[in-house]
Amino acid sequence: MKRLENKVALVTGGSRGIGAAIAKRLAAEGADVAITYVSSPEKAQAVAKEIDATGRKSLVIAADNADPEAVTAAVNKTVAELGRVDILVNSAGIFDARPFETHTMEDYDRMMDINVRAVYVAIQAALPHMPNGGRIITLGSNLADLVGAPGMTLYSMSKSALIGLTKGLARDLGAKEITVNLVAPGPTDTDMNPANGQYADYQRGKMAIPKYGSAENIAAMVALIASEEGRSINGATLTVDGGVNA
Ligand code: NDP
């Protein structure tokens, strides 16, 4: 029997990068998987096709994390079509690096709405449909712990908020044996942070092992947390950064 047989997962931002790798890995482990996207319908459909090829059910939902009603609707659609949410993975996120003085209130709202409020909303919507023993896994960042360079205040602030959310919720949901964890990647080769990008060599210079991680590396950590083997991992921030923060 596969580790996630008969489980239902919802992965926000599952059309590309880390979220896509997580969606495919959870399906390979036996779960039916719903994914959301905002701007890449073809890529989302391609991920769904790969999920279908594993024999598991897929569901593709357009839902902008900036819109709380859309996030709630995505959870409700997952429940309506796949029955419940055993595993909620909040992967959708945006990055913005610029001098702090140039940020506007709109920038603040956008970053916090997408990276923080949507996570809160998705969890609140999913909880009534999450059986005991469920899993809530959110993508943070190693930059929440060690920023190391200017220009990333807004982003690191948004990811730091997720640490408090994770710890508080782990306490709130312990009685239901629902675990709540944050996975904090370091440099990971995706559209957001390509291994051949302008700042890639700088980031490699900060790593103990100077090689970008892959989205699949992050997905492997998420799969462990999601499985029964991971039931004691709770309220934790699991840093997967090649030793940047070591
Ligand atoms: P990518 O930019 O490569 O992919 C982002 C994904 O999130 C896409 O599926 C995208 O959908 C979706 N998304 C973006 N904005 C929204 C929105 N407003 N509503 C719904 N979905 C949205 O990012 P990564 O895969 O690299 O990052 C995934 C997570 O990991 C993020 O939370 C990020 O902050 C975090 N992270 C990444 C690191 C890295 O080095 N890559 C390092 C540390 C943390 P669409 O395709 O439709 O645009």
- Tens digit of pLDDT for each residue in 99-150? 999 999 999 999 999 999 999 999 999 999 999 999 999 999 999 999 999 9
CA distance linking residue 89 with residue 68, whole number of Å: 16
**What is the model's pTM?**
0.98
**Structural domain boundaries in the chain:** 8-240
Ligand 1 pocket, residue 16 CB under 6 Å = yes
Q: Which fold has domain 8-240?
A: Rossmann fold (3.40.50)
Q: For tokens 């060599």, name the residue.
A: 201
Supply the ipTM of this predicted assembly: 0.99
- Cα(138) to centroid(ligand 1), Å: 12
Both structure tokens of 81: 């079509």
Q: How many CA atoms lie within 13 A of 164 on its CB side?
A: 5
Q: For tokens 């709380």, name the residue.
A: 68
Catalytic residue among 37, 108, 120, 155: 155
Task: With beta carbons less than 8 A apart as the criterion, state whether 61 and 38 touch.
Answer: no
- Determine whether 199 is an active site residue: no
Q: What is the structure's pLDDT at 71?
A: 99
Task: With beta carbons less than 8 A apart as the criterion, state whether 199 and 153 touch.
Answer: no
- Tens digit of pLDDT for each residue in 7-53? 999 999 999 999 999 999 999 999 999 999 999 999 999 999 999 99
> In angstroms, how far is CA 184 from the centroid of its own chain?
9
Fill in the DSSP letter of residue 188.
B
